[in-house]
Structure 1
Amino acid sequence: MLLQMVKKDLLMFWRRPRELIVLLLMPFVLICILGNALSAVNNGEIPDISVKVGVIQKDHPEKGIEQIMEDLNNLPIPGEQKNQIKNGISKFHPIAVLTEEIFKSNELKDIIKVEQISEQEAEKNKKQYSGIIEIPENFTYDFYRKAIFHEKKEPQLKVQLNESEGLEAGVLRDILSTFQQDMSLIAAANSDGFHPESMDLLKQTHRSLGSIETITAKEPISSVAYYAVGMSVMFIFYVASTVATYAYEQKESLVFNRIILANVPVFIFFLGIFVSATIVAFCQLNILYGLAAVIFKVHWPNFINYLAITVALSLMIGGFAVFLSSLSYRSNYKKTSNIFSSFLVPILTFVGGGFFPVSQLGKSFEKFSSYTPVGAGVSAYLKAMQGYPIGKIYTELLAIVILAMILITFALILQPKRGEAV
Structure 2
Amino acid sequence: MFNFVKKDFLSLSKSKSDLLELLFMPFILIAILGFSLGNIMMGGTSNNTFNVGIVNEQNLERDLGRLENELVEQGMPAEIVAEMAAGAQESDPAAMLYELLEDESFADIMIVEEFDNLSSATQAMNEDEIAGFITIPENFSYHVWQSIYQEEDTSSALNITVNEAENMASIIIESVVTTFVAQYNLETSIALATNGQAEAENQTIQQGEKVQLSVEEPVSAFQYYTIGMGVMFALSTAPIIATRAFKEKEQHVFGRIMLSGTKPLTYLSSKMISGTLITFVQLAILFALSTLIFGTFKGRDSDFWINVVYTTGLYSILVGSLTSILTSISLYANDNRTVGFFGSFVSVFAFLGGSYIPVEQFSEYLKQIGNWTPNGATMTSYLQLLQGFDFQEVLPLMMRVIGMTVISLLMAVIIFPKRRLD
TM-score by length of 2: 0.73
Q: Secondary structure at the match of 2:21?
A: helix
Which residue pairs with 2:334 in the alignment? 332
Alpha carbons 1:55, 1:116 under 8 Å: kept: yes
Specify whether residues 199 and 171 from structure 1 end up closer, same or farther in structure 2 by C-alpha distance, changes over 3 A only: farther
Name the SS of the counterpart of 2:84 in structure 1. helix
- Partner residue, 1:23: 22
Is 1:321 the counterpart of 2:346? The answer is: no
- Cα pair distance change 1:411/1:99, threshold 3 Å: closer
Other-structure match for 2:308: 306
1:136-285 equivalence runs, <5 A: 138-149=139-150, 155=156, 159-180=160-181, 189=189, 196=196, 215-216=212-213, 218-219=215-216, 222-224=219-221, 225-260=223-258, 266=264, 269-285=267-283
Q: Could you tell me whether the CA contact under 8 Å between 1:240 and 1:318 is conserved in 2? A: yes
CA-CA distance at 1:86 after TM superposition: 3.3
Secondary structure of residue in 1 paired with 2:240: helix
CA contact 1:54–1:133 (8 Å) conserved in 2: yes
In the alignment, is the contact (CA less than 8 A) between 1:354 and 1:378 conserved in 2?
Answer: no
- Unpaired runs of 5+ residues, structure 2, are none
**Separation in structure 2 between the aligned mates of residue 340 and residue 99 of structure 1, nearest angstrom:** 58
SS at 1:53 equivalent: strand
Distance change in 2, residues 1:152/1:407 (3 Å): closer
| TM-superposed deviation, 1:59 | 3.4
Structure 1 segment 33-182 matched on structure 2, within 5 A: 33=33, 37=37, 48-77=47-76, 82=81, 85-100=84-99, 102-119=100-117, 122=121, 125-126=124-125, 127=127, 128-135=129-136, 138-149=139-150, 155=156, 159-180=160-181
Q: In the TM superposition, what is the alpha-carbon distance from 1:61 to its structure 2 partner?
A: 1.8
Q: CA deviation at 1:251?
A: 1.7
| Contact residue 131 and residue 159 of structure 1 kept, 8 A | yes
Q: 5+ unaligned residues in a row in structure 1: which ranges?
A: none
Contact 1:35–1:227, Cα closer than 8 Å, also in 2: no
Question: CA 1:77–1:54 in 2, change beyond 3 Å: closer, same or farther?
Answer: same
Instruction: Report the CA distance between 1:103 and its aligned residue.
Output: 0.7
Secondary structure of the structure 2 residue equivalent to 1:76: coil
Displacement of 1:285: 0.5
Q: Mean alpha-carbon deviation: is it higher for 328-337 or for 314-323?
A: 314-323
For the residues of structure 1 that align with 2:297 and 2:275, how far apart are their CA atoms?
25
Q: Offset of 1:146 from its aligned partner?
A: 4.9
- Give the match's secondary structure for 2:332: helix
Aligned-partner residue type, residue 86 of structure 1: A
SS of aligned partner of 1:172: helix
Q: Letter of the aligned partner of 1:332 in structure 2?
A: N
Classify the secondary structure of the residue corresponding to 2:112.
strand
Task: Using the TM superposition, give the Cα deviation of residue 397 of structure 1 relative to its aligned residue in structure 2, in angstroms.
Answer: 7.2
TM superposition shift of 1:105 = 1.9
RMSD, aligned α-carbons: 4.7
2:240 counterpart letter in structure 1: T
Whichever residue aligns with residue 109 of structure 1, its letter is: A
CA contact (8 A) 1:380 1:393 kept: yes
Q: CA deviation at 1:65?
A: 2.0
AA of the residue aligned to 1:23 = L
State the number of aligned residues: 406
Percent identical residues: 25
1:78-106: CA deviations, max 9, x gaps?
67764663353142122211112x11223
Supply the distance in 2 between the matched residues of 1:297 and 1:312 (Cα, whole angstroms): 22
Task: Quickly say closer, same or farther: Cα 1:347–1:148, change in 2 above 3 A.
Answer: same
Distance 1:317 1:223, change over 3 A: same
String of CA shifts for 1:161-189, please: whole Å, max 9, x gaps: 333433223322333344455666688x4
